[in-house]
Structure 1
Amino acid sequence: MKIDQIHFYVENASWWRNWFISQMGFEAVTSPYRDKHTLIEVVKSGEAEFLLYSPESEESPVAAYLKQHPPGVAEVTFEVSYLEETLAKMQGVTLLRPLQTIPTNSGHLKWCQILGVTGLIHTLVEREGVTPLLPWLPQWQWKTTAKGGLFFTGIDHVVLNVAKGALQSTVQWYEKIFGWQRKQAFTIQTPHSGLKSQVLVDSSGKVQFPINEPTSETSQIQEFINYNRGAGIQHIALQTPNITDVTLTLKQRGVSFLRVPDTYYTQLKERFPKLPFSTSEWEQVKEAQVLVDSEASALTTDFKKNPLLLQIFTQPIFQEPTFFFELIERRDRAQGFGEGNFRALFEAIEREQFSKNQQS
């Protein structure tokens, strides 16, 4: 299994297409689709393919979504190898669209659509040969192999936030329906906030899906739930081979990131006194305000090279403090999710919350 597409429901798909291109370095890879109800734009960077939907009339399902939620991720499409076998193992799912096959000149597209336990839509596709970009619009565009974009190679992980008390039932749903496995669990607590997180992975390791729940009413996870008016995708982590260069370039393009205090880097040096950065790279890490976590690993024979996880988080991209992006670079087979950085992230988000509350 792997992530095939992410579907955003927004108020103006053309505006957001231009934003992804000018701010995030994505490329438009097809012409837009427009009918009397919905407009769809497609942007891509590496394997990260985003479909942007906006309503053209009140009859659009996007209009109905935006009456219930702020703009955000409404659907995640997963590609699987044997869809019929996969679907046969899914007992008790709510099918929104039954299994269907679309033959093409060079293969076929099999697909179905199910409703997730949180209301998130999951489309499952099996692609062979050249196939339609969207199965319910086979006459529109073909799925392209073009990489597109300037800065990102793909999606590292997708994070789902759920209400307090819903973590275990949501995890169990994905275990039962998709056969995903628990990888890592942790609890983060600050004086003002906190979360519980369980990371799920599919058997191939290509899908990584952390699920968070709040541990207090003041948690930034709870803030997301409040503004989103329910559970939803909080952020998507985009893989990049050079996070400091990309971050500094995106800042020049106008992308806003969470601020990291200078004291973070003093404490980082104390936690990891032998980080493998040259003087110039260390200065660039601080200038870009990238977070760093180090992992001891039994997988490496060169113990001078501990796996490193470098990450940074944008400000929420929509008007409400809901969805944001993470940029992530994994070095030397780093496998974690920066647990050591989450406290710093929480404190940074709390500072932003406090600053906004003071201004309002």
Structure 2
Amino acid sequence: MHFHHLHFYVENAANWRDWFIQMLAFQPLTAFQQADRHTEVLAQGAIQIRLSAPLDQNGSVACYLQAHPPGVADIAFAVTDLDAWVSRARAQGARLPDPTAAALPGQTERCCQIQGWGDLCHTLVEVDPDWLERQPRGTYLSTIDHTVLNVPEGQLAAAIAWYAAVFGFEPRQSFTIETAHSGLCSQVIGHPDGTAQLPINQPSSQNSQIQEFLTHNRGAGIQHVALGCPDMVSTISAFRDRGLPLISVPFTYYDSLQLRSGAAEAEVDWRAIAAQSILVDWAADNTAARLLQTFTQPIFAEPTFFFEFIQRSRYRDGSRVKTAQGFGEGNFRALFEAIERAQMQRGSL
């Protein structure tokens, strides 16, 4: 199970197509109309973005936008045995609201949509076993690294259990973050036979950034998507030149970071990293296992969805080449505080 595409429901698909082209260097693939929607499809590397706007006020896109602000309505997974997954989902009581909603003109891949947590959907797209290896590399961005789901307080355990039962996701890291202002609880789940990873967050205080998202989104939903890139510094520099709004990181973060054990051996250009407000993390026992991360400001009018950019270093461990794992645990507090500063500017904290 791998990520196949992200499907956004928006008010104007053509405007957001232009945004993805201008800000993130995506390339347009096709556009088409169905009975209830107009859809634009873009791609970069192994990342496919679908943008749908409503044509029928009684259609599923319009109904979603009546209940929620624009955002990711469908996280699609690539699978190799669609019939087996559909049988499993039905056996676990999952709903299949619209089996044909994800089809593209001329598409030969079989697909089926399953109702996920809250109003989030998951389209399963049947691919052959070497599909992932055939995906191209993008100019700046290459892969969907992970997607983050926010749920109301008290729903975390139930959401984890649902994804385990329906899709076979397994728990991985868990985190609890508390600051002087707010906090969250997070559980990462991932698929044991694929690259799909889905951290799930719930708020631990009423003024948490997670609760702010839930309030504005009017329920559970995708807070952010992490896109992998092979060269973070040059990518973020290019995106800043294009006008993409990103979080700011105080220079005190880099002062404290260089006091961490292993900083001298981390082999990063601290000046270039700081100039682009990039967060850095590494394994306590292996400075070669580094993560570089940064985040956009919310891209829609309400403080809901944003993008993360992540670079996972590749390093040699004996005769094997490995990729850094984790989610930048050492950066979680710095990120949380950066988002809190934006909350303060909005007057919501």
Q: What are the within-5 Å matches in structure 2 for residues 88-237 of structure 1?
A: 88-90=87-89, 91-97=92-98, 109-128=109-128, 147=136, 149-237=138-226
Tell me, in whole angstroms, the C-alpha distance in 2 between the residues paired with 1:243 and 1:218.
Answer: 32
**Which segments of 5 or more consecutive residues in structure 2 lack a partner in the other structure?**
315-322
For the 8 Å contact 1:158–1:209, the answer to whether it is kept is yes
State the match for 2:317 in structure 1: none
What residue is the counterpart of 1:43 in the other structure?
42
Which residue identity does 1:285 align to in structure 2?
Answer: I
Match of 1:33 in 2: 32
Verify the 8 A CA contact 2:117 2:220 in the aligned structure 1.
no
Shift of 1:57: 3.7
Residue 260 of structure 1: which of 238, 249, 253 is its match? 249
1:2 matched to which residue of 2?
2
**1:356 is matched with which residue?**
346
Aligned residues: 333
Identity %, equivalent residues: 44
Alignment partner of 1:340 out of 330, 336, 340: 330
Match of 2:309 in 1: 327
Whether 1:270 and 2:251 are equivalent positions in the alignment is: no
SS in 1 for 2:258: helix
CA distance in 2: counterparts of 1:115 and 1:60, whole angstroms: 16
The match for 1:294 is 282
Query: Secondary structure of 1:176's partner?
Result: helix
SS in 2 for 1:125: strand
Does residue 316 of structure 1 match 2:298?
A: yes
Superposition TM-score, scaled by structure 1 size: 0.87
Q: 2: CA distance between counterparts of 1:270 and 1:148?
A: 35
* CA–CA separation in structure 2 for the residues paired with 1:205 and 1:111: 18
Counterpart position of 1:17: 17
Q: Which is further off, 91-100 or 323-332?
A: 91-100
Query: Which digits, 9 at most, give the CA deviation of each residue in 1:299-325, with x for residues without a partner?
Result: xxxx5x530011000000000000000
- 1:31-77 Cα shifts (integer Å, max 9, x gaps): x1125642100111111101000123423322211111000011111
8 Å CA contact retained: 1:311, 1:329: yes
Q: 1-side partners of 2:118 and 2:57: how far apart?
A: 24
The equivalent residue for 1:137 is none
Deviation of the 1:29 alpha carbon: 1.5
* Aligned amino acid, residue 113 of structure 1: Q
User: 2:51 and 2:138 mapped to 1: Cα distance?
Assistant: 16
By how many angstroms is 1:124 displaced?
1.1
Q: Does 1:282 align with 2:283?
A: no
Which structure 1 residue ranges, 4+ long, deviate > 6 Å from structure 2? none
Alpha-carbon shift at residue 146 of structure 1 (Å): 7.7
Amino acid at match of 1:339: E
Across the aligned residues of Structure 1 and Structure 2, the Cα RMSD in angstroms comes to 2.5
Contact 1:118 1:170 in 2 (8 A): no
Give the 3 Å change call, closer, same or farther, for CA 226–64 of structure 1 in structure 2: same
What secondary structure is seen at the aligned counterpart in 2 of 1:319?
Answer: coil
| Residue 76 (structure 1) aligns with | 75
Supply the distance in 2 between the matched residues of 1:149 and 1:18 (Cα, whole angstroms): 18
CA contact 2:3–2:78 (8 Å) conserved in 1 = yes
Distance, in Å, in 2 between the alignment partners of 1:50 and 1:225 is: 23
Q: Tell me if structure 1 keeps the 8 A contact 2:226–2:308.
A: yes
SS of structure 1 residue aligned to 2:281? strand
Task: State how far apart, in whole Å, the 2-side matches of 1:99 and 1:82 are.
Answer: 17
Deviation at 1:99, TM superposition (A): 9.4
Distance 1:46 1:241, change over 3 A: same
- Summarize deviations over 1:277-299 as a string: whole Å, max 9, x none: 35xx21100000100011145xx
Matched residues in 2 for 1:70 and 1:149: separation? Answer: 29
How far apart are 1:85 and its partner, in Å? 1.8
